[in-house]
């Protein structure tokens, strides 16, 4: 059980959940293991209790617990039926429900048979894939959860941002910890880029050895439980090689933000000798590599992003990109290093745009590329990400693709060093950290 005293607010997600409270759809919280889904269910139960719902109206089941280890859909149904309080509305919370075979049969029956509001979590997108969606199609709403944003990281690690006045009278933001010690925001951001946003790190503290143990545990659990074990439960044997899986993970982690096709992954692994391990020669088929990549996407370990032709107004089949769900996990896999920091901050921007509710694609215009086109409803935002805007050459390179776009939507360059000018021909130049804490 999570100690409710240690629950930290995740208002972005809790507010979405509350918005759907007492509506018919099953509320499905998805996201990588240990990103805070169980705590979100706890926050929701606290919200209910604060608003007059009594304990016996709330049923919580965590299928990671040994108590529910061998449940099937029948025993699951019977257990819940026994805990239903007659003539009262029930609130049912099922954590990691995909561990119950045919769970969707039972959940659909609860919806039909009982006066209840249902909340479930799962660490694998497969639970919402086509064969399951037929049971719950139109009857579930997905709340996609991610590790901590930079703003949440500040809160979880007890930093408070205050404006201080310098000797010359200028204002600047600094981060203060609980003891009153203050740090430059850049220092705290560097810690975020090192340790990432897994909520559990707030419990062990920003200590490299402890953080690595926690991250390695998350990594191995995702691989063993959410990929290899899930394959066995599906009765499929496509993903049978942990060595190949690890190699593909390492390749994708090393190449975040780079244009990749599935066929190049296998070829590169062979060319670099990464698959010459004594028992395998030759290149895995593109079909095999695709199955492994899909499994990583379904476990929310990596996210893929498609290219969009801005002039032709169509998505392109060629060369997408992959981003890793948490930069701390990447550091855990590849070691802490400073090289490639440009792609690392791009990774952070991508997930921040997702948190803010945007659909995100890569923009292609002529032979140039815009890092991100972010769209929602009637809003669109074009984003370039670079480490610094101080050099004339970099400015030209980053601004050129945006200058080719003729519509009037907002265009912004995010960088760690935004330079002196706040805009260039209507294209905004914004400090990345300021942008992250403004959301």
pLDDT of residue 279: 43
- 362-409 residue pLDDT tens: 988 888 899 999 999 889 999 999 988 888 888 899 999 999 988 889
Query: pTM for the whole thing?
Result: 0.92
- Pairing between β-strand 26-30 and β-strand 140-144 as defined by DSSP bridges: parallel
Strand order of the β-sheet with 160-165 is 160-165, 171-176, 182-184
Pick from 127-131, 315-319, 372-376: least confident: 127-131
Average pLDDT over residues 34-49: 97
pLDDT of residue 3: 46
Q: How confident is the model at residue 322 (pLDDT cuts 50, 70, 90)?
A: very high
d(CA 193, CA 338): 10
Average pLDDT over residues 318-331: 92
Tokens encoding 423: 């805009």
Average pLDDT over residues 148-175: 90
pLDDT of residue 278: 39
Measured at the CA of 75, the angle between CA 69 and CA 80, to 5 degrees, comes to 100
pLDDT of residue 124: 82
d(CA 222, CA 246): 12
**pLDDT higher at 20 or 168:** 20
Name the average pLDDT for the chain. 88
Q: How confident is the model at residue 436 (pLDDT cuts 50, 70, 90)?
A: very high
Q: How confident is the model at residue 281 (pLDDT cuts 50, 70, 90)?
A: low
- 394-407 residue pLDDT tens: 889 999 999 998 88
- 239-278 residue pLDDT tens: 878 888 999 999 999 999 999 988 888 888 888 766 654 3
Average pLDDT over residues 4-25: 90
Average pLDDT over residues 277-288: 64
Average pLDDT over residues 157-186: 89
Which contacts qualify for 101-105: CB closer than 8 Å, 24 or more apart? Answer: 101/72, 101/73, 101/233, 102/72, 102/73, 103/73, 103/76, 103/127, 104/132, 104/135, 104/136, 105/73, 105/77, 105/135
Asked if pLDDT for residue 314 goes beyond 80, the answer is: no
What share of the chain has pLDDT > 70, as a percent? 90
Q: Cβ neighbours of residue 260 under 8 Å, at least 6 residues apart?
A: 252, 319, 320, 321, 322
429: left (phi over 0), alpha (psi -120 to 50) or beta: beta
pLDDT of residue 310: 72
- 86-97 residue pLDDT tens: 999 999 999 999
pLDDT of residue 2: 42
**pLDDT higher at 269 or 413:** 413
Number of CB atoms found within 10 A of residue 340's CB: 17
Number of CB atoms found within 10 A of residue 399's CB: 18
Q: How confident is the model at residue 131 (pLDDT cuts 50, 70, 90)?
A: low
Q: How confident is the model at residue 4 (pLDDT cuts 50, 70, 90)?
A: very low
d(CA 425, CA 300): 39
Asked if pLDDT for residue 286 goes beyond 90, the answer is: no
d(CA 257, CA 246): 19
Asked if pLDDT for residue 74 goes beyond 80, the answer is: yes
N-terminal to C-terminal alpha carbon distance within the chain:
32
Average pLDDT over residues 104-118: 94
């Amino acid at each position: 059980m999570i100690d409710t005293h240690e629950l930290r607010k995740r208002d972005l997600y809790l507010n979405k959940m509350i918005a759907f409270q007492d509506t018919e759809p099953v509320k499905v919280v998805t996201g990588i293991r240990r990103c805070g889904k169980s705590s979100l269910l706890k926050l929701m139960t606290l919200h209910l209790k604060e608003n007059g719902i009594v304990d016996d109206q709330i049923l919580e089941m965590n299928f990671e617990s040994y108590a529910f280890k061998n449940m099937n859909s029948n025993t699951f149904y019977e257990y819940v039926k026994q805990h239903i309080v007659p003539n009262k509305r029930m609130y049912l919370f099922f954590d990691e429900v995909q561990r119950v075979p045919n769970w969707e049969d039972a959940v659909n029956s609860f919806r039909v048979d009982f006066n209840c509001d249902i909340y479930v979590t799962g660490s694998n997108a497969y639970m919402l894939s086509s064969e399951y969606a037929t049971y719950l199609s139109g009857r579930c709403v997905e709340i996609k959860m991610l590790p901590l944003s930079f703003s949440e990281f500040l809160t979880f690690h007890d930093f408070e941002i205050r404006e201080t006045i310098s000797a010359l009278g200028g204002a600047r933001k600094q981060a203060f910890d609980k003891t009153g010690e203050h740090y430059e925001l850049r220092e705290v951001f560097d810690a975020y880029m090192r340790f990432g946003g897994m909520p559990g790190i707030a419990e062990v503290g920003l200590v490299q050895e402890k953080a690595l143990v926690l991250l390695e545990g998350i990594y191995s659990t995702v691989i063993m439980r959410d990929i290899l074990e899930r394959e066995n439960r599906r009765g499929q044997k496509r993903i049978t090689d942990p060595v190949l899986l690890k190699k593909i993970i390492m390749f994708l982690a090393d190449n975040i933000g780079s244009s990749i096709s599935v066929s190049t992954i296998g070829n590169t692994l062979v060319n670099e000798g990464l698959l010459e391990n004594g028992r395998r020669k030759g290149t895995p088929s593109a079909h095999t590599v695709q199955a492994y990549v899909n499994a990583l996407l379904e476990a929310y370990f990596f996210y893929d992003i498609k290219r969009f032709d801005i002039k032709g107004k169509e998505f392109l089949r060629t060369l997408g990109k992959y981003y890793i769900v948490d930069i701390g996990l990447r550091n855990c896999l590849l070691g802490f290093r400073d090289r490639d920091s440009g792609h690392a901050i791009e990774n952070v921007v991508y997930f921040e745009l997702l948190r803010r509710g945007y659909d995100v694609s890569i923009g292609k215009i002529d032979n140039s590329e815009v890092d991100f086109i972010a769209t929602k409803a009637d809003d669109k935002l074009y984003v370039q990400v670079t480490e610094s805007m101080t050099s004339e050459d970099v400015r030209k390179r980053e601004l050129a693709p945006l200058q080719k776009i003729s519509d009037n939507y907002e265009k912004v360059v995010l960088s760690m060093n935004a330079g002196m000018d706040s805009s260039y021909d209507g294209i905004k130049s914004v400090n990345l950290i300021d942008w992250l804490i403004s959301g």
